[in-house]
Amino acid sequence: MTRIFLLSPAHCGGVRARILVRPTAEFDLARRLRSVEGALLGEVFSFMSGLYFRGKLAYVRAFAPPGGALVITPSGGLFPPDTRVGLARLAEWADVHISADEPRYRGPLLRDARALALRLPRRAEVVLLGSVATGKYIEPLLEALGSRLVFPRDFVGRGDMSRGALMLRSAAAGRELTYMAVSANLHRGARPPRLAPRAGTS
């Protein structure tokens, strides 16, 4: 079965985002972001989001087919994680609140998700690697993708950091998670047990 993975975005107006775009920042990623070429979207969001987005990237690198991963952005729709972005793009995204009723976010996301739905095989699945506890992702994506939209079952009840750690472990072990259909009335489930420490760690 064909699977496409959608990665929820990092917060582009938070503390780590401000560190990254600071004019005096001299670490490698900040310098590349200021350059003409820009920096890779996946790297930028990983810096801003930390463990959660790193887990998503590791997971899609392990299980997505070539070209089978797209990142939800605050106002640009869906971008491949190797898209190059610069300071101007991040400034635009930092100004947009990610909400199901924000037209600058919803409009581009619906446009690209509908285009994705048209070119996918009928039996394809679109895996959302993001929260299903609110409507900001699932409402527009269900409108565009319908029953093809699924998410990892073990995400239910977990916070961002727990989901990130879960995806990193799954990728390292080569074991893909089990997916379930997204529904409009999906609610936060009971909190699952904490992940056991990895062997050799305390």
pLDDT of the chain along its 202 residues, tens only? 799 999 999 999 999 999 999 999 999 999 999 999 999 999 999 999 989 999 999 999 999 999 999 999 999 999 999 999 999 999 999 999 999 999 999 999 999 999 999 999 988 999 999 999 889 999 999 999 999 999 999 999 899 999 999 999 999 999 999 999 998 665 444 444 555 555 554 3
In which element (H, E) is residue 60 found?
Answer: helix 51-63
**What pLDDT is stored for residue 58 in this prediction?**
97
**What pLDDT is stored for residue 157 in this prediction?**
87
Residue linked to tokens 């797209």: 70
Domain residue ranges in the chain = 3-181
Q: Which two tokens stand for residue 176?
A: 């893909």
How far is 71 from 8, CA to CA, in rounded Å? 6
Cβ atoms within 10 Å of 187's Cβ, excluding its own? 8
Phi-psi region of 157 (alpha: psi -120 to 50; beta: other; left: phi over 0): left
How far is 7 from 152, CA to CA, in rounded Å? 12
Answer whether 0.85 is exceeded by the pTM.
yes
Phi, psi of 120 (to 5 degrees): -85, 150
Q: Is 111 helix (H, G, I), strand (E, B) or coil?
A: helix
How far is 49 from 93, CA to CA, in rounded Å? 14
